[in-house]
Structure 1
Amino acid sequence: MGEFVRLEVDGGIGTIRLERPPVNAINNQVQQELGQVAREATERDDVRAVILYGGEKTFCGGADVKEMAARSYAQMQSFGAALQNTVASVAAIPKPVVAAITGYALGGGLELALAADRRIAGDNVRVGQPEILLGVIPGAGGTQRLARLVGASKAKDLVFTGRFAGAEEALSLGIVDELVAPDDVYKTAHQWAARFAEGPAIALAHAKAAIDGGLEVDLASALKLETHLFTSLWATEDQQNGMRSFIENGPGKATFEGR
């Protein structure tokens, strides 16, 4: 357990909590601890779904600008690569990841949220990639994941202007998937995570790998990846348990009983 980032596990759900008041700014230590926790969530068998959470007030206000401003070009090259790798390690967790977004998700904070598979936000949330206002650009996947999610034109709007988008706009753009009352953000994210945690772990990991991996290659290669992951599930208990339940209970009544 780190000073600013920790993993709490309960009932198959691992909550990655950021706790660096007041806005959970990402400095070098937060980046390192986040990477360690992402690896732990990946490796632990008792973690079947993950929640990213910054607390009741704010998700993450982005990178620590004071720390970054003091770095040399060479130092920033090292930190930038490490930060991007850390966010990528969160995106690569082979389990469903739900971001519970309160307050602000800005800069590196939004990039972290974009690494999740589903994003639940408070109806007062504000998101953005304001790096251009600092004379730089997003460096932890924002120019890539945001464009893939909302399209190049809309991503350029946010990145070129550095403006903040409110909750309704974030929902309409597809940056967040669901808006709820601020006090219900974590509870709703937990409900989604619990639903995923009850599902077939290997099949869910394969589904995530097929979708995410397919977005990185051409259609023909993506279809080959899907076929490989699809057929490989016949070597798992997930497939045996799921199909047995379907045969015994019929369509619409089958439940996954494997663990």
Structure 2
Amino acid sequence: MAFELKIENKVALITFDDGKVNAVGFSLIDALNNALDEAEQNADAVVMYGGADKFCGGFDLSVMKAEDKTEQVKLVQAGADLIIRLYSYPKPLVVAAEGHSIALGAIFLMAADLRIGKDGDTKYGLTETAIGMVLPAFGMELAKSRLAPTSLTEALLFSRVYQGKDAVKVGYLDAAVPQEQVLATAMGYAEKLKMLPAKAFAESKLQLRKETLSKMRG
């Protein structure tokens, strides 16, 4: 897994790229938490970028399909804690998602403040029902808060995946642009958002999201 944190002009760019689908395991969660710690101290806005052609395909299947149920529970809990942290993060958080964002990848999108994706053949969605799983409570509550109410049935129960402008309409993305513009667009928004008064932004975010956060933690 190639992982990098770069801070310039008070904007932190967190890049993670395993050359495949950016499966989320313990090591990536630890790296993201460490990067978020540093960004919280030294940056005024954060961009998360999954590298060219990808964003995140979900939890690491080598753990989730193994026989060790204890490790599975630990990984899901660590993922839930990270999502809750992202959703309540005190600095503006922007995601640049050039590629597929499925399952936990889609939850990452919903946890961010602003989401820039690809206008093309890239899939964004929650596929848990389709693979015989029930979306964990932290993901369900987040989806109810961030997705369009009229799309919840097809998104959550039918496991529909969306592309481009449709992903914007349902609420996985805020903008869909050509792939070569995804990262630059996200960085441009971060440059603007970093100008917001930090204390007011952090407190307003918690006030806006406190009910959903309570349900996610419960």
* Greater RCO (CA < 8 Å, at least 6 residues apart): 2
Give the AA of the match of 1:162: S
Task: Report the CA distance between 1:133 and its aligned residue.
Answer: 2.9
3-state SS of paired residue (1:137): coil
- The unaligned stretches of length 5 or more in structure 2 are none
Give the 3 Å change call, closer, same or farther, for CA 182–213 of structure 1 in structure 2.
same
Confirm whether residue 165 of structure 1 aligns to residue 162 of structure 2.
Answer: yes
**Could you say which residue in structure 1 is the equivalent of 2:134?**
137
How do 1:147-162 residues align onto structure 2 when only pairs under 5 Å count? 147-151=144-148, 154-162=151-159
Confirm whether residue 211 of structure 1 aligns to residue 204 of structure 2.
Answer: no
Per mean C-alpha deviation after superposition, the further-off stretch among 132-141 and 33-42 is 132-141
How do 1:3-14 residues align onto structure 2 when only pairs under 5 Å count? 4-14=2-12
| RMSD of aligned alpha carbons | 2.0
Per mean C-alpha deviation after superposition, the further-off stretch among 84-93 and 180-189 is 84-93
> TM-score if structure 1 supplies the norm length?
0.75
The total of aligned residue pairs comes to 213
Task: Report the CA distance between 1:20 and its aligned residue.
Answer: 1.4
**Could you say which residue in structure 2 is the equivalent of 1:113?**
109
Report % sequence identity. Answer: 25
**Could you say which residue in structure 1 is the equivalent of 2:28?**
30
Give the AA of the match of 1:18: F
3-state SS of paired residue (1:98): strand
For the 8 Å contact 1:60–1:106, the answer to whether it is kept is yes
3-state SS of paired residue (2:55): coil
The structure having more radius of gyration, on CA atoms, is 1
Confirm whether residue 67 of structure 1 aligns to residue 63 of structure 2.
Answer: yes
How do 1:36-115 residues align onto structure 2 when only pairs under 5 Å count? 36-42=34-40, 44=41, 46-115=42-111
Give the 3 Å change call, closer, same or farther, for CA 5–71 of structure 1 in structure 2.
farther
3-state SS of paired residue (1:175): coil
**Could you say which residue in structure 1 is the equivalent of 2:195?**
198
Give the 3 Å change call, closer, same or farther, for CA 216–112 of structure 1 in structure 2.
closer
Give the 3 Å change call, closer, same or farther, for CA 23–216 of structure 1 in structure 2.
closer
Give the AA of the match of 1:76: Q
Task: Report the CA distance between 1:152 and its aligned residue.
Answer: 5.2
Give the 3 Å change call, closer, same or farther, for CA 214–84 of structure 1 in structure 2.
closer
